[in-house]
Structure 1
């Protein structure tokens, strides 16, 4: 079955995806969800390693690899590299996450492939960068979370470093790579030339530290753990009510005043301990204790309604089941349906962005390894005889 674009937005582009595990496949998914013809290149079954997310039947794999086609190629065989270069001739983008030395040894580095297709946007994702003292180190999400500073500011003060509950370095590295690819494709419209785009888990993690980074670079302040409370905006954090916990975020003087009125404590507005942002920071423990005394009088639903009505940001702390039961989440329609010929109807998360004229959908469930090999190789000119010969030789 030929390419079935999930959107018209990127349907003119073909992407060769050589990546494994999560960051690279995430980048490919972003492009596939917006309509690019993403061809996932995997190792043949007989030589594969642990290159999938929980196995091809797992929910993780099904989510990450939707809207793609799959071929197998043995890039350790010269004929396998020849097939890849044939694919590159008509491709717009190539994604890879090999160690820097591997792609050069195989002859599929940017310099080599750009000679075949000067318009190629070649995107590399690594653990630490393409050059430098750590370039050849193996890189994984939690390693980047630690080295990039995130674990030092996550968790309760004094409890030691804490990882985030999602592979945030992988995910951000993949999303930034997809963003870099789209920027390069836009630039290509002007110059007519592709280029090498590269990012790393470490760079993604450092960038995502955001205001914590500027606290260090501009103020010389080394941020520490603040637990469930915002490190600089007080009161903002998790608070206990009569029957559970809620998040409250109070930003700015006017909102602070509305918050005090809503809790029936207008005296906090003029109290020396809480009338200014800096004073609230010094006396945060006292203030948080006073807030929880007030909140203990009513349940979470009461306070969520009252505070939002007063223009103070406030919300539940949901598990995944509760999150998808929220009326607003249901209204946003982020869950999409797709039918897999292997597993039947599936429900998967869609994109968090809406393009009104060229929306995205789930056009194709995650493929089995090599499901489209012969289809795609036929599209680029290989004959049935060629395919038979290559299959016998273990090329795919």
Structure 2
């Protein structure tokens, strides 16, 4: 563990999120050192707590994966007293992240206009399915729907196949990334001017933003792109090809790579074929070329071809399943996982922060909080008197983790 503070040490974030996009955004900020206070409803908490094979809401690996490095409090925001607690916390917060449908936070008295009047320096990040404005603003947002409507599913999969979504929730995760990116930009602006602002992003736009090549193909040429399987839409050969025991991903994306690949696999005869002479020609004959290469590569194993191609400077790699990813010596050297201790689950492995910073390193410092684990701690540090906290807990407005006894039980 490092002893240096993260880049966002001293920044306080109120996290009123659930499931993935918003929780991922605030987790990224927490990984960089921010003090993120996760606010969940009493009894049931974040919906992710119930995405588990067990009925124990504290044993959800899905929740643990998205909420490390956070402190957790439990408040009923539908109760005016609970909403008032958040307004008091917002006075000294730097950032608030929420991912409810537009208008939900306003109905609770916790919208941007209300909280920025209390704290003009507050950076308020809203992540929703379709954004804070527009005809679709009131619709619920899900990654699958965003992938469908952003065009991602139309270019994923094989030609003439059924629509296929990306195997990971790319719109959820990218919305979280863009949210964190927006927060950091807004915070830099605040440091210069003292002015907070509203940051608005959506799953739909996060999906559209990833269609850089595909949208440009339509914007520049009026051509509607189709799915290409694993092949690139601008370079060839650049795709997965069969071997004797599986597949290999080969990225011979330029002329030098193409020529080096042909030499590596002892197929210099391909360099003499006019249809493969340049990248435009290879793209025009991409299926024919893939078939020819596949026939040849099936004579040896993936490991054999990876060794041969890398020796000739050709970008390539095996196609791993997740277990193989974590067994790879390079991934282990880079430390892509780390371990924390959880009171219910015991030792829990996490993905580490995919970012190395020499002066302000990011790290996984703690596991996800139990429901209401830090309610007393956070409220007391925010100026709430002991009697106030007891009253909130006794009334069910606030909740403390099981075993955290009331100071003055009713």
- TM-score normalised by L of structure 2: 0.92
Q: CA deviation at 1:118?
A: 0.7
| Secondary structure of the corresponding residue to residue 185 of structure 2 | helix
Partner of 2:202: 200
Aligned equivalents of 2:190, 2:368: Cα separation in 1: 30
Aligned equivalents of 2:240, 2:78: Cα separation in 1: 53
Q: Give CA deviations for 1:289-341 in whole Å, capped at 9, x if unaligned.
A: 21122212221111101111111111001111111111111111111111122
User: Do structure 1's residue 37 and structure 2's residue 39 form an aligned pair?
Assistant: no
Alpha-carbon RMSD across the aligned residues, in angstroms, is 1.6
Equivalent residues of 2:45, 2:371 under 8 A apart: no
Q: CA deviation at 1:76?
A: 1.2
Which ranges in structure 1 are unaligned for 5 or more consecutive residues? none
Residues 6/41 of structure 1: CA separation in 2 closer, same or farther (3 Å cut): farther
Residue from 7, 10, 14 that aligns with 2:8: 10
Q: What is the aligned residue count? A: 392
Partner of 2:134: 132
Partner of 2:155: 153
User: Do structure 1's residue 78 and structure 2's residue 101 form an aligned pair?
Assistant: no
Which deviates more, 273-282 or 31-40?
Answer: 273-282
Partner of 2:312: 310
Aligned equivalents of 2:301, 2:100: Cα separation in 1: 53
Residues 30/48 of structure 1: CA separation in 2 closer, same or farther (3 Å cut): closer
Partner of 2:114: 112
Partner of 2:362: 360
Which deviates more, 120-129 or 185-194?
Answer: 185-194
| Secondary structure of the corresponding residue to residue 273 of structure 1 | helix
| Secondary structure of the corresponding residue to residue 81 of structure 1 | helix
Q: CA deviation at 1:189?
A: 1.2
User: Do structure 1's residue 273 and structure 2's residue 278 form an aligned pair?
Assistant: no
Q: How does 1:135-284 map to 2 (within 5 A)?
A: 135-284=137-286
Partner of 2:343: 341
Which deviates more, 368-377 or 386-395?
Answer: 386-395
Aligned equivalents of 1:16, 1:275: Cα separation in 2: 58
Q: CA deviation at 1:242?
A: 1.8
Aligned equivalents of 1:221, 1:345: Cα separation in 2: 52
- TM-score normalised by L of structure 1: 0.96
Q: Give CA deviations for 1:78-111 in whole Å, capped at 9, x if unaligned.
A: 1111110110011000011122222222221111
Which ranges in structure 2 are unaligned for 5 or more consecutive residues? 52-56, 399-410
Aligned equivalents of 1:282, 1:104: Cα separation in 2: 54
Partner of 2:373: 371
Aligned equivalents of 1:333, 1:105: Cα separation in 2: 44
Equivalent residues of 1:13, 1:37 under 8 A apart: yes
| Secondary structure of the corresponding residue to residue 388 of structure 2 | helix
Aligned equivalents of 1:326, 1:215: Cα separation in 2: 37
Aligned equivalents of 1:66, 1:369: Cα separation in 2: 13
Aligned equivalents of 1:205, 1:337: Cα separation in 2: 31
Q: CA deviation at 1:344?
A: 2.0
Residues 209/56 of structure 1: CA separation in 2 closer, same or farther (3 Å cut): farther
| Secondary structure of the corresponding residue to residue 197 of structure 1 | strand
Which deviates more, 47-56 or 132-141?
Answer: 47-56
Q: How does 1:18-97 map to 2 (within 5 A)?
A: 18-45=16-43, 50=47, 52=49, 54=51, 55-97=57-99
Partner of 1:382: 384
